[in-house]
Structure 1
């Protein structure tokens, strides 16, 4: 039986609902980490890293009629994190409208414009600094598929995020340990991505000691980019009532040398349409260098 335990931590608050996301008054209920969410994100990172459909189905299962089969991996959250008891608004998290934060990073926490009293929208949350453990266990996966799963989990743990607005700095994760052994932060993010279809680029001049300060800088940068990029809705998404488009560029904090920096993750063709186009990078190492 193959098994590995990952210890993760949220660098920023995670806006996460549970199995019953609404309560009386339509306020988000208590935050709850769910294995199904982890499994879905691992599938997403599996595809982003360039692995094929066949290995995805062997590892995570398939629901293709009579040919469908169960997943080859058991995923368990070993310790349920303690949520913030009261659902949080932008003001509860000290994310005031100034600086573009609410409009550009926490769009779904902005004031409800349909109410005369400008009532805050509230969502359940896990606070920054929350730690938890994830168990991966498999009995019938080949060594090759198990290695693929572990690599995908490591990339997700370093560069992934959970919850709503996870492409806009919320719910950013970092990896603390694997099977009790402390993990060292990679020095080159592109070396762990290991392919030419996606890159992680540091946004110059954006760093802070506190995550709220970095959020302000990230909101300012995003607002600036939406003003200069031609196809801004395709790159940064739109939440219009008629058409909703997800952003192709993921913004998330990175913690290094006791400070936060800002990463932009996406396809090189998309990143090159922003102010990050002038940055140059070394050729990516092979994925076996992870």
Structure 2
């Protein structure tokens, strides 16, 4: 058994996450596994490697076996969720509008910023892509997000990050087909979220990218709806300031035609 991570994760922005009981907020191991899977894919992991790492079920086509049952090699444990700093449920107005109906109806529960939890990520057996697993865990530790609107900076979780550590991670991400954009450091996570939303609004207005009313933060092309290709979040630095970050990967971009060049030209 190999320990990939065993430490404290801090909740940087309000986290809207729950299990079977939608009125009770909790950090769930399956949600973290899902986030690790996203990073694994975005970093270039193939379906075959993904099945080796995260497990798969037996799939047949006629008499031919497409894939066999495989158990996941990763074990995720969450414990000790507790308040460790000043609580904050603050978020920009567009986020409040999105979650308001869910909060009013009791169908969403929030863990405020200022809480933390213990996270253990273990690897049960060796795989053919251990380096990629390590990199996915490293990305989650710094740029992870959980729950509603995590692509837009809510539910941001991380370990304490030094500027030099992030610069190293940024370089490694760019070598894997990511584009990473940063903006001036802010004094609070709320201010960083506002900066990021203003940047996206400016991009939409200047580049003529439509906003779908049914998927307010997604991009629409030729009347086909896509989940947003962008991820944004504040990164808490060691001096208690917050760096607004925006990033996307070639893998996550998929077939959204023409958007890649527009994003790079606008934010670079």
- The SS at the match of 2:126 is coil
Q: Deviations over 1:203-225 (max 9, x none)?
A: 3x4x3211222223233222222
Residues 71 and 202 of structure 1, relative CA distance in 2, 3 Å threshold: same
- The SS at the match of 1:108 is helix
Aligned to 1:58: 52
For residue 236 of structure 1, report the CA deviation from its aligned partner.
Answer: 4.5
Does structure 2 conserve the Cα–Cα contact (< 8 Å) formed by 1:49 and 1:194?
Answer: no
Aligned to 2:157: 173
Q: Deviations over 1:210-243 (max 9, x none)?
A: 122222323322222221222344894169xx97
Which structure 2 segments of 5+ residues have no match? 61-67, 251-257
Aligned to 1:190: 170
Distance in 2 separating the partners of 1:139 and 1:249: 32
Aligned to 1:102: 93
Aligned to 1:135: 120
Aligned to 2:201: 223
Which structure 1 segments of 5+ residues have no match? 22-28, 84-91, 96-100, 113-118, 281-290
For residue 127 of structure 1, report the CA deviation from its aligned partner.
Answer: 1.6
Structure 2 length as normaliser, TM-score? 0.76
For residue 82 of structure 1, report the CA deviation from its aligned partner.
Answer: 5.8
Distance in 2 separating the partners of 1:184 and 1:262: 16
Residues 148 and 267 of structure 1, relative CA distance in 2, 3 Å threshold: closer
Aligned to 2:248: 266
Distance in 2 separating the partners of 1:278 and 1:213: 21
Does structure 1 conserve the Cα–Cα contact (< 8 Å) formed by 2:16 and 2:109?
Answer: yes
Structure 1 length as normaliser, TM-score? 0.71
For residue 42 of structure 1, report the CA deviation from its aligned partner.
Answer: 0.9
Write 1 or 2 for the structure with the bigger share of strand: 2
Aligned to 1:151: 135
Q: Does 2:24 match 1:30?
A: yes
Q: Deviations over 1:141-184 (max 9, x none)?
A: 24x5443322211111111211101011111122249xxxx997
Distance in 2 separating the partners of 1:223 and 1:49: 27
Q: Does 2:3 match 1:3?
A: yes
